[in-house]
Amino acid sequence: MIVKDWCSFCGECAGVCPRNLIVVKEYNLVFNDEDCRECDTCVKACPIDALEKEE
């Protein structure tokens, strides 16, 4: 995932990941990409479009 500069670290995306792969840590988003199922739930949950899937 690519996290855009305007991410506010609100944690919405972390709250919706069915596999709990996202952690908000001191103004960083940490992804456990290895287990990601690319369901896009986190991308859709971000209210300000700050997440983008890496191609």
Interacting residues with ligand SF4 (CB under 6 A): 3, 7-13, 17, 19, 21-22, 24, 29, 31, 36-42, 45-46, 48, 50-51
Place of tokens 């972390």: 14
The secondary structure of residue 47, as a DSSP letter, is: T
The closest of 53, 43, 36 to 12, measured between CA atoms, is 43
Smaller CB distance to ligand SF4: residue 8 or 55? 8
Distance CA(10)–CA(34), nearest Å, equals 23
Smallest separation (angstroms) from ligand SF4 to the CB of 8: 5
Smallest separation (angstroms) from ligand SF4 to the CB of 41: 4
